[in-house]
Amino acid sequence: MFFIQVDMRLILSLLLCLSSSLFAQQITTVTPDKGERGQTLNLQITGSQTNFTQASSLMVSIFNAATVITANSVSVLSNTQLVANVTIPNQAAYQWCDVAVSGINVPFVRKASAFAVVNSSGQIPKLKSFSPASANAGQTLDLTITGSNTLFTQASQVSASFYTSASAILVNQVDVINDTTVVTTVSVNSNAATGFYPFYLQSGADGRLYSPGLGLFVGQSGSTPQLVNVTPSAIGIGETLDLVITGMNVDFTQGSGVVNVSFFKGATYLFGSATSVVSPIHVKTTLTVPSDLSYQGFYDVIVSKGGIDLVLQDGLSVGIAIGLKELQKEYWQVFPNPVRDELTITTDMDLTDFGFMNLSGQITQVRLEDITRLTEGYRIRTESYKLVPGLYLLRAWNKNKFTYHKIVVE
């Protein structure tokens, strides 16, 4: 009888744990789920297992990596329903945002990607492609930038810029071709450092448009074929991603033989699958990283065709920086992004040991005096570190592992 009683207690304990996880407080719906810049509207937020009526100083926030909107007022209708009056700033980023509710006596609850800031057509504009993807130092060339759901022809002005010093790449001219296409003429300084230069467009109709994977890789002049870039440049353990490899002074469409892609470090090889040539300078491959991979670090990227191998040393970070899917699972929100002097992290994770990692794996550690603990995250002063403009991974320690978030430093 004693053993039966113990078993029943265990079963009851398990049932209580299960019920608490099944009936956790959460936001279920947000209506409407989209709005335009400058618009003021009432959002009806419905929760499950919530106790909104028991809260004081109730606050509703709408946020993503580039935008934070705080409700003008909050009216509680019941334990599970409230109405938030919000005004969308004119400079809000066109993106899906998380919606969060918090207050005294009410835990922080959030619904990811619950509200979208859209343009006048009800769409989210973004940059889709950038061609060509590489140039030589000292070269002047035309770049074709293609957008999705953009309204370039409706803008009074469209400007373009790179996240770099003004002397490295000069934008001479911007010509709007149609709603989704812009051609820019740029001059690359002969002394421009070899590397990847992220790019953005500023449109009166679409705001600031930026995509971390789009930009120009600058190499040294010459006719030597070489690999210059891999997008994305990081993949997690057990993850499967499509990778696009960019070459310079190459034409993958010419010649005979099948194109193969592999990744090598030490004695470890990884092999791409479903590899295809998507343009004269681009090869696409699918990489799956085994969950039991023993070596984590930067891997050389090898593209082979017709007996010729092109190698990009330390081109892909495997395991060091978790990939895009994992970044979405980690509940980080970093803003503003791009960052200049200060950034704010919204998260319920307990983070320590912050640092900035460039794409070569070099870490700039954040000093304790530059970190401020907030109610729902952290604030970090970045101005004193004199980071070179470009793409970084913001690294922090959480639960016996490092977690990462991609940021751009202006």
Q: Which domains does the chain have, with CATH numbers?
A: 26-118 (2.60.40.10), 126-219 (2.60.40.10), 226-318 (2.60.40.10), 330-409 (2.60.40.3080)
Query: What is the per-residue pLDDT for 18?
Result: 39
Query: What is the per-residue pLDDT for 9?
Result: 46
CA 399/CA 348 separation, integer angstroms: 13
Cβ neighbourhood burial of 258 (10 Å; 0-12, 13-18, 19+): exposed
CA 168/CA 164 separation, integer angstroms: 7
Query: What is the per-residue pLDDT for 142?
Result: 94
Query: What is the per-residue pLDDT for 74?
Result: 93
- Report the chain (410 residues): mean pLDDT per 10 consecutive residues: 44 42 76 94 94 84 80 93 94 84 81 88 86 85 92 88 74 93 92 76 82 71 76 80 86 84 88 92 92 82 87 79 41 75 81 78 81 82 84 76 76
Task: Give the tens place of pLDDT for each residue, 347-363.
Answer: 777 788 888 887 656 77
Query: What is the per-residue pLDDT for 228?
Result: 79
CA 161/CA 112 separation, integer angstroms: 31
Query: What is the per-residue pLDDT for 331?
Result: 53
Query: What is the per-residue pLDDT for 75?
Result: 93
Query: What is the per-residue pLDDT for 320?
Result: 59
Query: What is the per-residue pLDDT for 181?
Result: 94
* 3-state SS track over the chain: CHHHHHHHHHHHHHHHHHHHHHCCCEEEEEECCEEECCCEEEEEEEEECCCHHHCEEEEEEEECCCCEEECCEEEEEECCEEEEEEECCCCCCCCEEEEEEEEECEEEEEEEEEEEEECCCCCCCEEEEEECCEEECCCEEEEEEEEECCCHHHCCCEEEEECCCCCCEEEEEEEEEECCEEEEEEEECCCCCCEEEEEEEEECCCEEEEEEEEEEEEECCCCCCEEEEEECCEECCCCEEEEEEEEECCCCCCCCCCCEEEEEECCEEEECEEEEEEECCEEEEEEECCCCCCCCEEEEEEEEECCEEEEEEEEEEECCCCCHHHHHHCCCEEECCCECCEEEEECCCCCEEEEEECCCCCEEECCHHHEEEECCEEEEECHHHCCCCEEEEEEEEECCEEEEEEEEEC
CA 241/CA 261 separation, integer angstroms: 14
Task: Give the tens place of pLDDT for each residue, 381-405.
Answer: 888 888 888 778 788 877 656 677 7
**302 contacts 287 by C-beta, under 8 angstroms:** no
- Nearest one of 375, 387, 376, 395 to 342, comparing CA atoms: 387
Query: What is the per-residue pLDDT for 316?
Result: 83
Query: What is the per-residue pLDDT for 323?
Result: 40
* 3-state SS track over 241-261: EEEEEEEECCCCCCCCCCCEE
CA 60/CA 74 separation, integer angstroms: 7
